[in-house]
Chains A and B, each alone.
Chain A
């Protein structure tokens, strides 16, 4: 079995740590590029969501590298993610690819198929202490890749040498691919954090703070969202992203819960009590949390026509008014133009900066 899987930010690094121990050879699809997007757009139905198109293209590119099996996760609820696997499987069949499609559906659809799919993905291995050990290491690696990006978002506007910052983060990510034991992981972690701490800072006061909310794929995957967080950082904003794969996995596994998500859902309650699929509630709750943290604005990223996020978008209008929190909505798909997006992000940062100055003046006067 040679399995390929979809990209989601640095998921491939964690899987690369995990799989050598399991009896499955994995084939990491090439990084998402313009070519990937073109393949997905060509093969998927026009009305399908953008993440379906890009992940489908990951599979095709993985198959071209020799994969004969696809590992894919499934969703639940009124979000179309629930049928990604089925649709993609049919498309691949129609294209004449002879591959096994292993779908790890949400445990809510039945714990037995969930465990069975998990077993297939683990190459039929039983839970030995060795497997548990490497799985926990892979989990730590995934967590750390997210922490690294969190640092990068926060630091971009603060450090003197942004290129150096990128070099440190990219270098660490590359090193993490080679990790095979706890000791080497801890060494990379400590060394990287020390390097980041030692980066020379600019004298910055009153940085504007921007939070990112939205759909799990588009809000995280910088290769398809035009790296909005980088644009914001280079314009001088401290950026935080509320979307996290780690939290998603925690919340999806049968016996664990994400505290962050539960908190966001609680905050969203006055506006949205029901699960609307995808990250709809998270988007609303996280925006409120950013307002409570004193952030200056929120950028909402979602795939064009994403139903849960369209619900959240309408509700964010009320949140934005009630909490006096400016919100920029950016729908992303293959038709999104970079120039228009940059113009809007620039103007948004101007709005936040002017508001912040004005608020400060008011405080000084009173």
Chain B
């Protein structure tokens, strides 16, 4: 059986999806990145290995998400794609007649306009992270409500409190203010959901025509309060679909892209990667005032990849030379000292 793997490493969560040739999801997982993308990748691979169908073979791997390049190196992806394309492909596969995609993830949100099964236009939040998963989570903690219950709480409210949602900081202070006035938690949460929806529309949908069916995906789509707020915003006139796979759509899209790309021989690193040691090191280049931060992904003594060199002077070869020079230099001062002492003596 030919299988394809999709990996989506985002700022907050890491997602894995394993599909067959018919694009059906055979296994999927949704993990916290917790600031350790390599750890999360290994954990995800372990999960996929445990749920791997016997007789299956991975024929292609796709990676996406903000850490797509890192993931691509570690897992050995055949195709590395941006999350907009990956999300669109998954939405089109799930709901072929889709015309608009709303995607709200951990730290960014996207609006994708699709016509006749092709991406026509898109927008990504640029200025502010208001309304993304991280903010909602932060507020859930502050209100002492488990994130899973957060959305349901909003549904219990009879009315919403108006909350300024243009900026996360002001939204928070406005929420505190409304709390101090004595409003209940459900009303405040509902007000927050509505503010975030207004923010999403104002930031991303300006000048764009939103036609239904709308597919709402990304981690925040699990929040019923936000879904309801979107429905209310369109006064129930637009069809909004939240697919059950909403949390792993990006990874699913990456897997589908790998399938479409159909490499002759996959560059998949294999499940052995789980046992291998990766290490990332960084240094600041001080050769010019740009002060580039060079990040190096190492596997034992092997430099696997390198990022951040604006002028292009740092490559695995030059970095290795630099390390060797540094090692030489660290011996040099000793010699100088000896010479000095000789002169003195």
Q: Are B81 and A350 touching (Cβ within 8 A)?
A: yes
Q: Which of A138-146, A245-253, A340-348 contacts B (4 or more CB under 8 A)?
A: A340-348
Check if B33 is an interface residue, CB within 8 A of chain A.
no
B 174-217 binary contact with A (CB < 8 Å = 1; else 0): 00000000000000000000000000000000010000000000
- Across-interface contacts of A351 in B (CB, < 8 A): 118-122
Closest to A318 in B: B207
A317 to B119, CA, bound (A): 16
Contacts of B82 in A (CB 8 A): 343-344, 346-347, 350
B173 within 8 A of partner (CB): no
Task: Say which one of B146-154, B227-235, B236-244, B286-294 lies at the interface with A.
Answer: B286-294
Asked whether B124 is an interface residue with its Cβ less than 8 Å from the other chain, the reply is yes
The answer, yes or no, to whether A269 is at the interface (CB within 8 Å) is no
Give how many A-B residue pairs fall within 8 Å (CB-CB): 57
CB distance from A318 to the nearest CB of B (A): 9
> Is B289's CB under 8 angstroms from A36's CB?
yes
- With both beta carbons as reference points, the residue of chain B lying nearest to A162 in the complex is identified as B312
With both chains docked as a complex, state the minimum distance between the C-beta of A188 and any C-beta of chain B, in angstroms.
23
Q: What is the minimal beta-carbon distance from B61 to any residue of chain A, in angstroms? A: 18
B121 and A326 form a contact (CB under 8 A):
yes
- The residue of chain B having its C-beta at the shortest distance from the C-beta of A317 within the complex is B207
Bound CA–CA A171/B119 (angstroms): 41
In the assembly, what is the distance between CA of A347 and CA of B253, in Å?
Answer: 14
At the interface, yes or no: A45 with Cβ under 8 Å from chain B? Answer: no
Taken together as a complex, chains A and B put the C-alpha atoms of A171 and B317 apart, in Å, by: 23
> What 1/0 flags go to A345-357 for Cβ under 8 Å of B?
0111011001100
Partner of A340, one of B121, B126, B207: B126
Complex CA distance for A36 and B122, rounded to whole angstroms:
33
Determine if B83 is an interface residue (Cβ-Cβ < 8 Å). Answer: yes
Least Cβ–Cβ distance between A234 and chain B, in angstroms: 11
> Is A127 part of the contact surface with B, judged by Cβ < 8 Å?
no
**B318 CB to nearest A CB, Å:** 13
| CB 8 Å contact bits of A313-352 with B (1 = contact, 0 = none) | 0100100000000100001000000011001101110110
Our pick among A339, A350, A355 for the contact of B66 (Cβ within 8 Å) is: A339
- Smallest Cβ distance from A300 to chain B, in angstroms? 13
Residue of A nearest to B121 (CB): A326
Q: Which residues of B contact A314 (CB under 8 A)?
A: 207
State whether B124 touches A350 (Cβ < 8 A): no
Smallest distance from the beta carbon of A165 to chain B beta carbons, Å? 12
**Whole-angstrom distance from the CB of A62 to the nearest CB of chain B?**
14
- Chain B residues closer than 8 Å to A34, beta-carbon distance: 289-291
Determine whether the beta carbon of A33 is less than 8 Å from that of B119: no
Smallest Cβ-Cβ distance to A166: which chain B residue: B312
> Is B134 among interface residues, defined by CB-CB distance under 8 A?
no
B84 within 8 A of A: yes
Q: Is A358 interfacial (CB 8 A cutoff)? A: yes
Contact among A33, A166, A343 for B288, CB-based, below 8 A: A33
> Counting CB contacts under 8 A, is A35 at the interface?
yes
Bitwise interface map of B from 110 to 132 toward A, beta carbon under 8 Å scored 1, else 0: 00000000111110101000000
The answer, yes or no, to whether B108 is at the interface (CB within 8 Å) is yes
Query: Interface residues of A toward B: which range?
Result: 20 to 34
Structural contact, A30 and B289, CB atoms closer than 8 A? yes
Given A346-B82, A350-B84, A350-B119, the answer on whether A35 and B291 have CB atoms closer than 8 Å is yes
Q: Which residues of B contact A166 (CB under 8 A)?
A: 312
Contact of B84 among A35, A326, A347, A358 (CB under 8 A): A347
Docked complex Cα distance between A317 and B124 (Å):
16
Nearest residue (CB) in A for B11 is A339
B85 at the interface (CB under 8 A from A): yes
Give every chain B residue within 8 A of A343 (Cβ-Cβ).
66, 82-84, 124
A343–B108 alpha-carbon span in the complex (Å): 12
Would B289 and A355 count as touching, CB distance under 8 A?
A: no
Question: Measured between alpha carbons, how far is A351 from B121 in the docked complex, in Å?
Answer: 8
Instruction: Kindly state the separation between the CA atoms of A115 and B223 in the bound complex, as whole angstroms.
Output: 66
Which residues 286-309 of B sit at the A interface, judged by CB distance below 8 A? Answer: 288-291
**Given A33-B289, A35-B289: A344 and B84 interface contact (C-beta under 8 Å):** yes
Shortest beta-carbon distance, B118 to chain A, in Å? Answer: 6
- Contact residue among B81, B118, B126, B291 (Cβ-Cβ distance under 8 Å from A354): B118
Q: Are A340 and B108 in contact (CB under 8 A)?
A: yes
Measured between alpha carbons, how far is A348 from B110 in the docked complex, in Å? Answer: 13
Cα of A343 to Cα of B288 in the assembled complex, Å: 27
Residues of chain B within 8 A (CB-CB) of A163 are 312
**Chain A residue at minimal CB-CB distance from B117:** A358
* B207 and A347 within 8 A (CB): no
Return chain A residues, CB-CB under 8 Å to B120.
326, 351
A33, B85: Cβ atoms closer than 8 Å:
no
Residues of B within 8 A of A331 (CB): 126
Complex Cα distance, B121 from A334, in Å, reads 26
Residues of A within 8 A of B118 (CB): 351, 354-355, 358
Contact residues in A for B121 (Cβ distance below 8 Å): 326, 351
From A33, A344, A354, B290 is in contact (CB under 8 Å) with A33
Q: How far is the CA of A339 from the CA of B108 in the complex (A)?
A: 12
Q: How far is the CA of A35 from the CA of B81 in the complex (A)?
A: 32
A351 to B84, CA, bound (A): 10
CA distance A331 to B123 in the complex (A): 13
Q: Which 8 A-B pairs have the closest CB atoms?
A: A35-B289, A347-B84, A33-B289, A346-B82, A33-B290, A317-B207, A350-B85, A347-B82
Known: A166-B312, A343-B82, A347-B85. 20 other contacts (CB 8 A): A30-B289, A34-B291, A35-B289, A163-B312, A314-B207, A326-B121, A339-B66, A340-B126, A343-B66, A343-B83, A343-B124, A344-B82, A344-B124, A347-B82, A347-B119, A348-B122, A351-B118, A351-B119, A351-B120, A358-B118
Q: Which residues of A contact B (CB under 8 A)?
A: 30-31, 33-36, 163, 166, 314, 317, 326, 331, 339-340, 343-344, 346-348, 350-351, 354-355, 358
